[in-house]
Amino acid sequence: MTLQSPDAGGLDENRMKESVLEHLRAERSVPSLSFAEDPVRLMGGFDTLVYAFRLAGAPTDLAGPLVLRVFPGSGGVGQASKEAIFQNAVASSGFPVPRVIVAGGERTIDGRAFNIMERIPGHSLMEDMFADPEAGPRVADQLAQTLADLHAMPSSGVEESLRNAGFPMHQANLSSGLRYIQRYVAESAMAHLAPATEWLTQNQPSERDTLSVCHGDFHPGNVMADGGQITGVLDWPGALLADPEYDVAITLTLIAVAGPALADNVPAEVFEAFANGYLEAYSRRRTVDPERLQYYRAYRAIRAFVRATAARTPGVDPDLMPRDQYPWAEEGAARRLAGVIKDTTGLDVPLPPGVEPA
């Protein structure tokens, strides 16, 4: 397995520790607050830096195991704010998710936005899959059940929380994602991918009267379990109010396309079988519109493909460059993404620089 935590990107961890204590001492008016356990890096996502720690002399809500998430500089404040609002609103509805106890807001750590949240017990379902080759069907069923439960939850409470917080609602729906993709093809070196983004605009499904709370990055690495029970879903900056098929398609793409890039010793067919089992398990619980599912598969593949192309193209705006260890830029993943785009849209997209046809 080749998954790695992102590079710290110049974050000074000593200054980070000092900043955490300064923020918390000021917020809670506890000048003696200290670390019972210093922050320790955890395996995280590809954008955030994640640390586990404990405090000494803390008020009750900060007395347990905690997690610090530090966001990238570009767009980090918005991501952190969105994550905090979604997580706490979803937690209030009874869904298993860690509460954000301290939202950094405009405060930063070494210039980066942050959130401090509960640390939930257990391990990721991804660890189960790699520890036991026979765990695939069980994990697929657990994923499907957890996501179906999220989609069945009324979205009105989350929408109200977003509005009350003054969060820009256009950043909580798919239009924000389409604008994000269009920023890439506006680069002269990537204008050849404009037909793919035009296809997304021209074929976008009409909006349903009722949307679901969607996680936006739902995969086994973001779902925690302990003793066979789901304890929490992590990593919410990509959450939206959208069609449930959006989430289902994202999971399928992450598993079948990105999965083999993270575990090159596992045949791609294993990931395909897992994705098919997950879709079948979800479909037993909720009806899936095949046309919407097809559209969102195209959306997720195109979004990943333009970023993979940016990662391999000289001269692209540095703010658009993915962080290190971006799995979609791996040659096999880029080829698989091009295949998904062809299957869902009929378009033949040029492979990124340095990626040869299979």
Q: Are residues 153 and 187 in the same domain?
A: yes
Query: Do 29 and 154 lie in a common domain?
Result: no
Give the pLDDT confidence score for residue 129 in this predicted structure: 85
Report the C-alpha gap between 130 and 114 in whole angstroms.
Answer: 30
**Claim to verify: residue 106 and residue 127 sit in the same structural domain:** no
Q: Is residue 44's pLDDT more than 80?
A: no
Average pLDDT in the 192-210 region?
95
Residue 156 lies in a domain: yes
Residues 6+ apart with CB under 8 A from 180: 303
Euclidean distance between CA atoms 123 and 224, whole angstroms: 5
> What total of structural domains would you count in the chain?
2
> Average pLDDT, stretch 32-41?
96
Residues 85 and 105: beta-carbon distance below 8 Å: no
| Whole-number pLDDT of residue 272 | 94
Q: Which residues pair with 112 in a beta bridge?
A: 109
Q: What is the mean pLDDT of residues 34-48?
A: 84
254-276 per-position pLDDT tens digit: 999 998 887 777 888 989 999 99
Q: In this structure, what CATH number is given to the domain that contains residue 234? A: 3.90.1200.10
Task: Answer yes or no: is pLDDT of 31 > 70.
Answer: yes
Average pLDDT over residues 175-202: 96
Same domain, 52 and 131: no
Mean pLDDT of the region 49-62: 95
What is the rounded average pLDDT of the residues 203-217?
95
- Identify the bridge partners of residue 111 per DSSP, sorted by sequence position: none
For CA atoms 167, 236, 37, 56, the dihedral sign is positive
Say if residue 1's pLDDT is above 80.
no
Is 268 contained in some domain?
A: yes
Task: With CA atoms as reference, report the closest residue to 312 among 330, 300, 298, 299.
Answer: 330
Task: Name, of 8-12, 163-167, 348-352, the range with top average pLDDT.
Answer: 348-352
Secondary structure in 3-state letters for the chain? CCCCCCCCCCCCHHHHHHHHHHHHHHHHCCCCCEEEEEEEEECCCCCCEEEEEEEECCCHHHCCCEEEEECCCCCHHHHHHHHHHHHHHHHHCCCCCCCEEEECCCCCECCECEEEEECCCCEEHHHHHHHCHHHHHHHHHHHHHHHHHHHHCCCHHHHHHHHHCCCCHHHHCHHHHHHHHHHHHCCHHHHHHHHHHHHHHHCCCCCCCCCEEECCCCCHHHEEEECCEEEEECCCCCCEEECHHHHHHHHHHHHHHHHHHHCCCCCHHHHHHHHHHHHHHHHHHCCCCHHHHHHHHHHHHHHHHHHHHHHCCCCCCHHHCCCCCCHHHCHHHHHHHHHHHHHHHCCCCCCCCCCCCC
* Co-location of 99 and 129 in the same domain: no
pLDDT over 60 at 6, yes or no? no
* 6 part of a folded domain: no
Are residues 145 and 167 part of one domain? Answer: yes
Lowest mean pLDDT among 51-60, 77-86, 184-193: 77-86
Do 310 and 202 share a structural domain?
A: yes
pTM score of the predicted model: 0.93
Q: Are residues 106 and 144 in the same domain?
A: no
- What pLDDT, in 10s, does the model give residues 118-163? 999 999 999 988 888 789 999 999 999 999 999 999 999 999 999 9
**Which residue would you say has higher pLDDT here, 13 or 117?**
117
Report if residue 160 sits inside a domain.
Answer: yes
Q: Which of 251, 248, 221 is nearest to 233 (CA)?
A: 221
Residue that terminates a domain, selected from 89, 118, 147: 118
**Rounded alpha-carbon distances, angstroms, from residue 262 to 18, 126, 205, 265, 320:** 34, 11, 32, 9, 22
Is the pLDDT reported for residue 329 higher than 90? no
Average pLDDT, the chain: 91
Q: Are residues 136 and 212 in the same domain?
A: yes
**pLDDT single digits (tens) 76-121:** 888 899 999 999 999 999 999 999 999 988 888 988 999 999 999 9
Given a cut of 90, whether residue 358 has pLDDT beyond it is no
Residue 256 in domain: yes
Instruction: With cut-offs at 50, 70 and 90, classify the pLDDT of residue 324.
Output: low
Last residue within a domain, chosen from 70, 103, 118: 118
Residue ending a domain, among 87, 118, 149, is 118
Residues 240 and 315 both lie in one domain? yes
Residues 335 and 226 in one domain: yes
- Judge whether 57 lies within some domain: yes
Record the tokens describing residue 333, joined without a space. 């993943």
Domain encompassing residue 114: 13-118
Residue type, 294: Q
305 neighbors 338 (Cβ within 8 angstroms): yes
CA 78 to chain centre: 14
Residue 355, domain member (yes or no): no
Tell whether 98 and 131 lie within a shared domain: no
Query: Which domain CATH number covers 111?
Result: 3.30.200.20
% of the chain beyond a pLDDT of 70? 95
On whether residue 5 sits in a domain, the answer given is: no
